[in-house]
A and B are shown apart, each in its own frame.
Chain A
């Protein structure tokens, strides 16, 4: 549950930071998953390119 900033008080600051680093972690995981998915999927060009004759 995100920290509410509607009623600022001294008690909210630690919660604000918690929500922030958790939000960054989510973004990092999404970026990592995207990178891994891209690495696992062969590019269309590679899949359709004729094999080189040896």
Chain B
């Protein structure tokens, strides 16, 4: 009976660890001057990423089956296809459909919100995903070193 209980405890611990390691989160923030609507007018278009991200050379927005997608062309010609999943006045969410990054179940949100100080904004870009091809723990360890 004692062995059975110990086994149950070990199993529970394993499941808890696995659940904790399932998704990896990356979140980056910056503050800047301006008002959210003003900043969003410059960067909020789904394909405006080509104007503010140095790694994106081109962006093509397409509609398929009532959904909006963007196809990013990177500096070396690599392509990433992303689907717009939600949007409002100063944010949008999307997921990666296909691309060269070693991730799966990738969901991200870009948002420009009000900062605590007047006439300043908080820019936040966050994503949740699973590692594709390496162990999540190893992946997360790499990311922690870089953050």
Task: Give A contacts to B, CB under 8 Å.
Answer: 2-6, 8-32, 35
A5, A9, A12, A28: which contacts B42 (Cβ < 8 A)? A28
- A15 to B145 alpha-carbon distance, docked (Å): 11
On chain B, which size bracket covers the interface?
35 or more
- A4 to B74 alpha-carbon distance, docked (Å): 9
The prevalent SS among residues of A at the interface is: helix
Is B118 positioned at the interface, with any CB of A under 8 Å from its CB? no
CB <8 Å contact, B28 and A21: yes
B residues 38-79 touching A (CB-CB < 8 Å): 38-39, 41-43, 49, 51-55, 74-76, 78
17 A-B pairs in the complex with CB atoms less than 8 angstroms apart: A3-B54, A6-B76, A14-B143, A15-B146, A17-B27, A17-B125, A20-B49, A20-B125, A21-B123, A21-B125, A24-B32, A24-B43, A25-B30, A27-B39, A27-B43, A28-B42, A35-B38
Which residues does chain A contribute within 8 Å of B30, judged by CB atoms? 21-22, 24-25
Task: Give B contacts to A, CB under 8 Å.
Answer: 26-34, 38-39, 41-43, 49, 51-55, 74-76, 78, 100-103, 110, 112, 121, 123-125, 127, 131, 134, 138-139, 142-143, 146-147
Nearest CB in chain A: distance from B128 CB, A: 11
- A19 to B28 alpha-carbon distance, docked (Å): 10
With A9-B102, A20-B125 as contacts: A28 and B34 at CB distance below 8 Å: yes
CB <8 Å contact, A24 and B55: no
Which residues does chain A contribute within 8 Å of B53, judged by CB atoms? 16, 19-20, 23
B31, B41, B102, B110: which contacts A10 (Cβ < 8 A)? B102
Which residues does chain B contribute within 8 Å of A13, judged by CB atoms? 26, 101, 103, 127, 143
